[in-house]
Amino acid sequence: MSLNIMSLIEIIVKSQYFHAALIVLASFFLAKFITFISKRYLKKWAAKTKTTLDELIVDKLRPPFIHIIVLVGLQVAISTLDISYVWIEQLVRSITALFLLYAAIIVSDIIINFLFDVYKQKNPTKMLDSLVPLLTKTVKVVLFIVAIIWILSIWNVDITPLLAGAGIASFVIGFAMQSTLKNVFGGISMILEKSMEVGDRVTLESGEMGIVSEISIRSTKITSFNNELLTIPNGRLADSLITNYTKPDLNLRVVVDFSVVYGSDTDKVKEVAEDTIKSMSGISEDPPVSAIMVSMADSGLNWQVRFWVDNQGEAFDKKIEAIDNIYKALNQSGIGIPFPTRTVHLKKDE
């Protein structure tokens, strides 16, 4: 009786199915061991780091990673069996590919959201709220296509025609969405280059001026000083010349043109104009106020007074105030302001 039992045990031990079962069982215990290590040590280690990225990856990747280990063990076990059911191994490899796809999607979502959260803390903009979902969906589609191609190759399906068809389809779709893609990439380039942000005072190449109120994934909205809302595609903005008065800082130079009559004391004109501007509030001392004569025109001497304001939002009001003050100061100083004149000589017939 004992001999029969020993013979039975020997047969079982030498059986390929027993070896396969041991491999599956070992992979299961390995998965449990990794789970224990990740909960007991990796999670504590990740909590000590300055970033939360590793904590998120450890927590989110644990379930799919455990399944992947078991499936790899099952795949190895099946490969040791002398069976003709190739489809079983192909099925296991396909399921493993799907779990790897799931893990890759989790990691990509975590990394993309983490990086954009860090960027958004330093550069707050509403456009990121539209860009993050678009980027995550794009990555998911790419990973899904890679997984499908991988699974088809596992089942020995010729994917060459599919790749050719996908290339043609992507060309057609890209051509059809050329304008949309141009706007999207134009918006991304504006974010990366920081050429324009919400709240900036800008003038477009076409002449429109206003305050940037919103930058979305497709277009940018600018509120004009007449309270008109302008919606411009990002692709057009990326290819045009934009004057940004808010960058590199809020300081802005203001230029006021005026004229005085011929015969005026130029030194006195310079002194009156500069002192008038210096007496105004909100005028920067550096660079200093400067009044210069720029030309001798038909009716008088043309001058410019140049000064800087600390806040570009006050530039227009300060220019209006400067024009009024200079006019009053010239009158009080007895300096004449010219107006267009024409002298007519009449010839008498003798």
Q: Which amino acid is at 107?
A: V
Query: Could you tell me which residue, 189 or 10, shows the higher pLDDT?
Result: 189
Task: Please check the confidence at residue 143 and state whether its pLDDT lies above 80.
Answer: yes
Per residue in 45-101, pLDDT (tens digit) is 666 666 666 666 666 666 677 777 777 777 777 667 666 566 777 777 787 787 778
Residue matched to tokens 């004569």: 293
What is residue 151's predicted lDDT score, i.e. its pLDDT? Answer: 81
pLDDT tens digits for 201-214?
Answer: 888 888 888 988 88
Q: pLDDT tier at 144 (50, 70, 90 boundaries)?
A: confident
Q: Which of 24-28, 79-83, 270-274 has the highest mean pLDDT?
A: 270-274
Q: Is the pLDDT of residue 14 over 60?
A: no
The continuous run of DSSP H or E covering 180 comes out as helix 178-193
State mean pLDDT over 107-122: 75
What pLDDT digit, counting tens, does each position of 254-264 carry?
999 999 999 89
Q: 265 versus 124: which is more confidently predicted?
A: 265
Question: What is the greatest pairwise CA distance in the chain?
Answer: 161
Helix (H) or strand (E) holding 239: none
Q: Higher-confidence residue: 252 or 303?
A: 303
- Is 319's pLDDT higher than 90? yes
Mean pLDDT of 223-229: 89
Task: State what percent of residues in the chain have pLDDT above 90.
Answer: 18
**5-32: average pLDDT:** 66
Q: Please tell me the distance from the alpha carbon of residue 252 to that of residue 231, in angstroms, as a whole number.
A: 26
Give the per-residue pLDDT at 277.
Answer: 93
User: Quick one: pLDDT at residue 156?
Assistant: 80
| Mean pLDDT (whole number) for 287-301 | 90
Q: Tell me the average pLDDT of the chain.
A: 78
Q: Which two tokens stand for residue 242?
A: 């934009």
- What 103-108 contacts at long range (C-beta under 8 Å, 24+ apart), as own/partner pairs, is 103/61, 103/64, 103/65, 103/68, 104/143, 105/139, 105/140, 105/143, 106/60, 106/61, 106/64, 107/57, 107/60, 107/61, 108/136, 108/139, 108/140, 108/143
- pLDDT band for position 6 (50/70/90)? low
Q: Is residue 11's pLDDT more than 60?
A: no
* CB 125 within 8 Å of CB 215: yes
Relative orientation angle of helices 160-176 and 127-154, to the nearest 10 degrees: 160
End-to-end CA distance of the chain: 161
Closest CA to 202 of 222, 218, 216, 231: 222
Is a pLDDT exceeding 90 seen at residue 197? no
- Phi/psi of residue 329, nearest 5 degrees: -65, -40
